[in-house]
Amino acid sequence: RPIVNPQAFKWIERKEPKPRVDDGPEVDERSYINPNALQYIDRPPPMKKTDVCEPEIDTRSFILDRNPGALAHLERTSSN
């Protein structure tokens, strides 16, 4: 007994050959890509946002730049 039923192949084999139409080469001339997709390639890249902060190293003085009166306060309190 075969594993696959031979009746399953009846749809694969044609009983009569399909007539061939000779009106040109059998080349599929349809586009492989969507022509509307090309507008995204030709478009310039979006502008960078200027409000986005780039990461950088903070080289400011921790005390004096954030609180200019901090050094004067330390001098007053340490002399007492």
Is residue 49 very low, low, confident or very high in pLDDT (cuts 50, 70, 90)?
Answer: low
| Residue 52 tokens, joined | 């986005």
Contacts of 66 (CB under 8 A, 6+ apart): 60
Percent of residues, the chain, with pLDDT higher than 70:
80
Does residue 58 carry a pLDDT above 70? yes
Q: Is the pTM of this model over 0.85?
A: no
The span from the CA of 75 to the CA of 64, in Å, is: 13
**Over 60: is that where the pLDDT of 80 sits?**
no
71 in Cβ contact with 65 (< 8 Å): no
pLDDT of residue 38: 76
Say how many CA atoms lie within 13 Å of 19 toward its Cβ: 3
